[in-house]
Amino acid sequence: MGDRAGKAGPNIRGGGGIGHGPSGQTTPTRTGTLPLLATALRRRWVSGVAIVTVLDAEGGFRGVSVSSVVIVSIEPPIVAVALSADGSVHRRFELGTAFTVNVLDRSQTFLAERFAGRAPVPDATFTGVPHRVHATGLPVIEDALGWCVAAVTRVIPAGDHVLILGAIGDGAMTDDTDDPLVTYEGRFRSLEAE
């Protein structure tokens, strides 16, 4: 994990006009800083990284890197993913549509880059991506730490994102490498062993 020394975080206070200072006093704040606050908070929220896969209109494979995965419910098992409303992939998530969530190991960082459109081959197809095809026709990433297939049960617009809820219908874990891919403050990280 990174060294905190010399890293001044953004000193952002949001709100409709009142914030709480370090010693508890109320201080006036500017409006318009709340999106900055939300961005900073999201960066400060350590999370794993997964590839969500879905089929496109022609039945081809689509993949997108996400950190916004939440296992919302255990019984019944429900997974949620927040997808940017500016992107194109969220349009593939209609009620009943199946998708997969593949939790990445740190050795799969190149996949996170690739499906965020940042890798040398910035496409969302699966050429050269180790995968197998599930009974639903969806690609499951080989050697993901764990994966599931879910059917979309709700699509909830949420500001500049769309919250997708899915009922988990299948999935499996692979051997735990103890080395999941982690993201924090916009960088990929590894867990520090105790």
- The residue ranges that bind ligand FMN (CB under 6 A) are 49, 64-68, 82-84, 87-89, 112, 115-117, 183
Burial 8-20 (b: 16+ CB within 10 A, else e): eeeebbbbeeebe
Q: State the residue number with the nearest CB to ligand FMN.
A: 87
Nearer of residues 13 and 189 to ligand FMN, judged by Cβ = 189
- Please report how close the Cβ of residue 21 comes to ligand FMN at its closest, in angstroms: 32
How remote is the C-alpha of 138 from its chain's centroid? 18
Cα distance between residue 131 and residue 148, in whole Å:
14
Closer Cβ to ligand FMN, 29 or 152, answer by number: 152
C-beta closer to ligand FMN: residue 13 or 43? 43
Q: In sequence order, what DSSP letters do the residues of 68-128 get, joined into one string?
A: -EEEEETTTTEEEEEEESSSSGGGG--TT-EEEEEEPBGGGHHHHHHTTT-SSS--SS-TT
Of residues 29 and 162, the one with the C-beta less far from ligand FMN = 162
Provide the 8-state DSSP code for 192: P
Question: In the bound complex, what is the minimum distance in angstroms from residue 186's beta carbon to ligand FMN?
Answer: 8
Least separation in angstroms between residue 84's CB and ligand FMN is: 4
Least distance (Å) between residue 54 CB and ligand FMN: 10
